[in-house]
Amino acid sequence: MTFNEEINADKGPKVIIIITTFPVVALIAVILRLYTRIKIIHNQALDDWIAVVALLFSIATSAFMALQVRNGMGRHKISLTHQEDVNFFKTLYMTIIIYNIGLLFTKLSILFQYLRVATNKRIRLACYLVMLFSIVYGTEAFFTGVFHCWPIYRFWRKTNTGMCINKPILWFLNAGLNITNDILILMLPIFILKASTLPRKQKVGICLILSLGGFAAIVSVWRLYTLYIVSISKDLPWDIVGMVIWSCIELNVGIICACVSTLRPFTAQFIPLMHRNSSTNSEARHTSLRGNRGSELEADSSLIESQNKNIEMPGRGTMQGSNNSEDSSFKGLRNSTNDLDFIRSCEPAGEQNGLSGFKLQDNKGLTFSKLPNYPALVIVSTKR
């Protein structure tokens, strides 16, 4: 490669591919999450809309990264005009601010999701404390980003007046706080599931899904190396490419991980093969699930898995429970029996023959009927 070819080298196209691909994948994940929560289980929550806000800031971050490419990122500083150099630092300034806001909302979406699942008071307190840490760190990162220099325009215009915070020190401090925050968020699912009554195999599966955020923590650690490269750089537009790429990956992977754990009802409905093993498991599993109003709904899945069984209740005669293995409605139910969001989609359906029921909102004609004097039993019936 000649000297001129080296000077005119451009990493911009590589950056554009990455900052476009990851937000698109995150967008698909959020759309599937909203479809699942609104159309399938009819039970959207605050964390769903926080994920939407995080996605909007992620898209805005990528847009400003694209403007950085347009103004010289990925090229050597010596090849830039004075105006391109100024515009590059202006767009970098905006990227840092918007990135930190998006990161905060991503973490809040995950933490509010944990709060929906957690029932133990100590674990909920831990969630609130980690949330407080996230908000404090996010607020600090936002304001140090906005007021990195004073006057603010000194960030992109070199003047003899004013001052700026030492960039490497600030960036490494914020990166360290971010990694600490990620580790705390990563540990919470372990304690949440430890306090639950789910079978061990199911606990492991859910823990693996919820702990996908660990990949975001790994990305955060790797991003430290790119920060080091930037901190010693004499050619920032060229050397900052790695940090920008990994910042984009970190932000969008966090959003994707926050959405994956909500998609089980979607996969149960559209990709039933993924749940075949769990649906054919005939073990009686006793699951305690916390309802939207804080009440406990006790579900014994052995009642669902039994074939044409008569259930005798003192003083109430015999109740018939139909569960034909070829019945597609029950197949769908077995796929989602232990799914927290699926059960939470139930709503009171009134009193019938001494039974207080919970009618599912999935238009399959299924009804959960709970006996008042036998709270551990749930009878499932279907309209034919």
Please report the pLDDT score of residue 74 as a whole number: 95
How does pLDDT run across 295-314, given as a tens digit for each residue? 333 333 333 333 334 444 44
Q: d(Cα 185, Cα 262) in Å, to the nearest integer?
A: 17
Question: What is the mean pLDDT of the segment spanning 351-371?
Answer: 45
Q: Pairing state of beta strands 378-382 and 163-164?
A: unpaired
How does pLDDT run across 123-144, given as a tens digit for each residue? 999 999 999 999 999 999 999 9
Q: Between vectors from CA 131 to CA 204 and to CA 129, what angle results, nearest 5°?
A: 90
Please report the pLDDT score of residue 323 as a whole number: 42
CA distance readout (Å), 219 to 14, 240, 336, 340, 360: 18, 16, 33, 30, 40
Please report the pLDDT score of residue 210 as a whole number: 63
Are the CB atoms for 111 and 185 separated by under 8 Å?
A: yes
Q: Is the pLDDT of residue 165 over 80?
A: yes
Q: Is the pLDDT of residue 294 over 50?
A: no
% pLDDT > 70, the chain = 67
Quickly list DSSP for 142-162: HHHHHTSEESGGGGTS--SSS
Please report the pLDDT score of residue 282 as a whole number: 38
366-375 — which CB contacts under 8 Å span 24+ positions?
366/329, 366/333, 368/299, 370/297, 371/313, 371/316, 374/313, 375/298
Are the CB atoms for 262 and 272 separated by under 8 Å?
A: no
Please report the pLDDT score of residue 293 as a whole number: 36
Which of 136, 222, 224 has its CA nearest to residue 175?
A: 224
Residues in Cβ contact with 160 at an 8 Å cutoff, skipping those fewer than 6 apart: none
Q: Which is higher by pLDDT, 255 or 286?
A: 255
How does pLDDT run across 54-101, given as a tens digit for each residue? 999 999 999 999 999 999 999 999 999 999 999 999 999 999 999 999
Which domains does the chain carry?
Answer: 3-262 (1.20.1070), 283-382 (no CATH)
Q: Which is higher by pLDDT, 172 or 59?
A: 59
Question: What is the mean pLDDT of the segment spanning 353-380?
Answer: 45
Please report the pLDDT score of residue 5 as a whole number: 57
Please report the pLDDT score of residue 208 as a whole number: 67
3-state secondary structure of 71: coil
Q: d(Cα 286, Cα 302) in Å, to the nearest integer?
A: 8
Q: Which is higher by pLDDT, 16 or 379?
A: 16
pTM of the full structure: 0.70
Binning pLDDT at 50, 70 and 90, where does residue 195 land? confident
Choose the most confident range, by mean pLDDT, from 5-14, 136-145, 165-174, 273-282: 136-145
Question: What is the mean pLDDT of the segment spanning 287-301?
Answer: 37
342, with CB counted inside 10 A (0-12, 13-18, 19+), is buried
Q: What is the mean pLDDT of the chain?
A: 76
Please report the pLDDT score of residue 4 as a whole number: 61
CA atoms lying within 13 Å on the CB side of residue 93: 18
Are the CB atoms for 119 and 290 separated by under 8 Å?
A: yes
Please report the pLDDT score of residue 360 as a whole number: 46
Residues in Cβ contact with 350 at an 8 Å cutoff, skipping those fewer than 6 apart: 356, 357
Please report the pLDDT score of residue 269 as a whole number: 86
218-223 — which CB contacts under 8 Å span 24+ positions?
219/246, 219/249, 219/250, 219/253, 220/175, 220/178, 220/179, 220/182, 220/250, 221/179, 222/246, 223/175, 223/247, 223/250
Question: What is the mean pLDDT of the segment spanning 165-174?
Answer: 87
Choose the most confident range, by mean pLDDT, from 49-53, 278-282, 377-381: 49-53
How does pLDDT run across 225-270, given as a tens digit for each residue? 888 898 889 999 999 999 999 999 999 999 998 898 888 888 888 8
